[in-house]
Amino acid sequence: MPTATSPLSRAINAAKQAMKPQRYGVHDRVFACPLCGHDHFKLGAYQGLLGLHTLVCADCTHVEFFETRPAALEP
């Protein structure tokens, strides 16, 4: 029997899914960490005064800064 899920639990599950490391594309190419070569990142929260977007490597935690927000690729 299927269980009903509340809008709150669906929102929480969607937020968890969005926070998982993802692959990102930059200039129509999959972006890889320049230090370890890993290709899964978390979108960073830092925007600062310059309005920069960040990707944090899920493997080595190296941070890359971008002027425009990188596009998340489908899993």
pLDDT tens by residue, 25-37: 988 889 999 999 9
Which of 31, 30, 75 is CA-nearest to residue 56? 31
Q: Whole-model pTM?
A: 0.71
**How many whole angstroms separate alpha carbon 14 and alpha carbon 55?**
20
Give the tokens for residue 26: 């930059």
What is the block-wise mean pLDDT of the chain (75 residues), using blocks of 10 residues?
Answer: 73 77 88 94 77 90 90 80
**How many whole angstroms separate alpha carbon 23 and alpha carbon 35?**
16
**How many whole angstroms separate alpha carbon 6 and alpha carbon 12?**
10
**How many whole angstroms separate alpha carbon 61 and alpha carbon 34?**
11
